[in-house]
């Protein structure tokens, strides 16, 4: 399930983040497995960067206040977000699949169910740099407005095409969902969207709506892992 979300960041948050990113130090060739490293040509903020903690906090707050993100992904754990930069010189990330397990700061591991990219550059400011995702429905090309998020199954083959003008700033992260199965997450997301629309139209107390909400919660209880 590929899902996009608009306006995850406010204009003020986006402007503050860009200022910090443009002043940050960047490094090559980090945060990739041996196979992916062969096709990775971009820049990333290193772990010891002084600005990384504040940037990560800003992103996590934005995710937590979005009911659509919580509904679609049902996140159990999120690896601390990282930030990348593509320029004409460091321009692309070839076809790869994200690693299944990622280490967390506490020494435990996260199973990557969902990968996510938060676009931080206005699309008219750079050429190329599209995120291409290959799944069972074919190849999808994604290039969103700054402040928008796209999420997709971590097991999908994907790439970032070469940037030929300007630069592409982004934030990427990996999540372990409470519901591992992609199809079950899709069904729950569709059901929750319908329930939220019905609540807006009919209020919370309508008897059938209460019953359907109970069914939704029992499905989450049946399918979730934690």
Residue-wise pLDDT tens digits, 32-49: 655 566 788 999 999 999
Q: How many CB atoms lie within 10 A of CB 157?
A: 13
Burial of 198 (0-12, 13-18, 19+ CB in 10 A): middle
CB contact burial 111-131 (16+ within 10 A = b; e otherwise): bbbbbbbbbbbebeebebbbb
Tokens of 4: 């996009």
- Chunked in runs of 10, what are the mean pLDDT values of the chain (226 residues)? 96 96 87 68 93 96 96 96 96 94 92 98 97 90 98 96 97 97 97 95 88 96 92
pLDDT for res 33: 59
Residue-wise pLDDT tens digits, 64-95: 999 999 999 999 999 999 999 999 999 999 99
- How far apart CA 74 and CA 57 sit, in angstroms, is 19
CB contact burial 73-104 (16+ within 10 A = b; e otherwise): bbbbbbbbbbbbbbbeebbbbeebbbeeebee
pLDDT for res 203: 85
pLDDT for res 220: 97
H or E element in which residue 216 lies: helix 207-223
Rounded alpha-carbon distances, angstroms, from residue 216 to 10, 18, 39, 211: 31, 39, 42, 9
């Amino acid at each position: 399930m590929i899902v996009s979300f608009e306006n995850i960041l406010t204009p003020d948050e986006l402007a503050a983040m860009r200022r910090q990113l443009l002043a940050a130090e960047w490094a090559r060739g980090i945060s990739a497995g041996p196979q992916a490293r062969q096709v990775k040509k971009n820049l990333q903020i290193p772990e010891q960067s002084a600005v990384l903690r504040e940037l990560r906090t800003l992103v996590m707050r934005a995710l937590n206040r979005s009911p659509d993100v919580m509904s679609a992904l049902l996140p159990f754990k999120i690896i601390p977000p990282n930030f990348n930069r593509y320029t004409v010189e460091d321009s692309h990330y070839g076809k790869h699949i994200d690693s299944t397990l990622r280490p967390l700061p506490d020494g435990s591991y996260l199973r990557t169910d969902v990968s996510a990219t938060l676009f931080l550059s206005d699309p008219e400011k750079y050429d190329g740099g599209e995120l291409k995702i290959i799944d069972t429905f074919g190849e999808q090309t994604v290039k969103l407005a700054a402040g928008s998020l796209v999420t997709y199954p971590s097991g999908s083959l994907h790439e970032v095409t070469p940037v030929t003008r300007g630069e592409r700033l982004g934030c990427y992260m990996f999540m372990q969902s409470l519901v591992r199965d992609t199809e079950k997450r899709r069904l729950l997301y569709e059901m929750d969207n319908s329930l939220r629309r019905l609540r807006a139209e009919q209020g919370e107390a309508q008897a059938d709506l209460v019953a359907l909400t109970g069914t939704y919660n029992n499905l989450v209880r049946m399918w979730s892992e934690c």
